[in-house]
Chains A and B, each alone.
Chain A
């Protein structure tokens, strides 16, 4: 298993994909974070203290900084998800799955190695994405005389949970990639689910008064619940993460469970299939 993991790391880091994808995520987050930090802090400073007191608690005091920082996980979790999925689909696309299975014919070991090696890759994405979000926003808050909340223990606990969130998304991606094998299919499914299907589903309970508890078990909801703060809660559609009744530890298990579920489905349905 150790040899297989070493192989997987070498595969991950020997093409340009991992850092190109990471650079995209970082550039996107830096831009969004600067924009949001500036515009939110600016608008709050226009509001009189009495009016501010009636505003939602999530934008008051230190909570504002945390809310902006949470953009990393809320907006960029699709990147570790993609790198995980692509680490598998690339092997099928370029047929390197043949030398991979020749070197390690125990396919379950290869899948395990891909899952395990994706965790630190997700963590690296998390570190970079978090830095790309927090640094520009903290500078904006400090310069504008607001609170950057970096002196609060809560903030650092949030960072740790956000890193856990990022780390877990990469193995979910491995599961999706293993199940679908096709690179195009994996990208389409990942984007359709994360950017379209799940955001809409998650809006339903706040727009209606349907009590859809199962929504909490969707991967995106579970991810936000691990962080405890979601930037999307600002969209005026109810604080879905606060509404989540699952403790963050359980949410981590739910997200990890998706990775395991996808792999368990993939193993008999596609991973064991003929390579020809």
Chain B
């Protein structure tokens, strides 16, 4: 289990992380979400001992990163997409890390195979695409066969096929009982991957729950169209529905369910041509929770 405990980090006048606490559980994929600049990377770096927190700490099963012996064999991390020397090959990049995790070269080839880069092992990373660098980062994280994975924006630069691949990989790893924390500024890209969500904005926690609970915060809207648009407009006004008018005279009604709208239309003697509940999507919930807090 990963525990972030009242973590605060200030960079001069900027408070990047503000008294943040949350946990990531074993055997689950936790999505760590927030707009750009909300403090995700800072939190992950603090967890990994790369940044000294102003206050609070992060522990892995009770231990700080620096206290773990051979940490690469317990915790795997991939931070930014480009912490590679462009003139070094993928294999050599991994071979430079392997001794400290106590691993043989054969393991380097193995993880390159897992991320689908085996055929590119001897190519210099300078010639890699963003997506390939992302995969190499994941390979480095997997090197020590760790029970905890921290991945910062792992879907950045991946094509849709790559995102699907990443999802399957992370689901498989979680199914083996590993603790996985992945950050993203887009809920959509990790929605199908994560079990739990932790949402932050301006370094503060705004929501932490299993994904299903986030779904419950979703506010459905109802699409309604009538044979007589003028009469429908009058009904919407009379009922004081919170609604957006479409150019064709149909409406998208918020906060009133389809049944209520149908009933009101029936009483008004209005013939409806369409009546449908529309899911706003989780992204909508995410935007609402973090509203106005993204970097301009």
Contacts and interface: CB of A to CB of B under 8 A. Distances in A.
B83 A95 contact: yes
A95 B50 CA distance: 12
A23 to B, nearest CB: 15
B72 A103 contact: yes
B50 A98 contact: yes
Contacts, number: 84
A10 B95 contact: yes
A149 interface: no
Contacts of A103: 71-72, 97, 100-101
A99 interface: yes
A17 interface: yes
Interface residues of B, number: 35
A6 to B, nearest CB: 4
B50 A6 contact: no
Nearest to B77: A102
Interface in A61-106: 90, 94-96, 98-99, 101-106
A16 interface: yes
Contact of B71 (A11, A98, A102): A102
- Most chain B CB within 10 A, of A3, A101, A105, is at A105
A94 B86 contact: yes
A183 interface: no
Interface string A44-69: 00000000000000000000000000
B48 to A, nearest CB: 6
A151 interface: no
A3 B84 contact: no
Interface residues of A, number: 25
Contact of A99 (B49, B52, B89, B140): B140
Given A96-B85, A106-B66, A4 B80 contact: no
B52 A274 contact: yes
B158 interface: no
Contact of A15 (B88, B101, B140): B88
Interface of A: 3-4, 6-7, 10-11, 14-17, 90, 94-96, 98-99, 101-106, 274-276
Interface of B: 11, 41-42, 45, 48-52, 65-66, 71-72, 77, 79-80, 82-89, 92-93, 95-102, 140
24 contacts: A4-B100, A6-B99, A7-B97, A10-B96, A10-B99, A14-B89, A14-B92, A14-B96, A17-B87, A94-B82, A94-B85, A94-B86, A96-B83, A98-B50, A98-B79, A98-B80, A99-B93, A101-B50, A103-B71, A103-B100, A106-B66, A274-B50, A274-B51, A275-B50
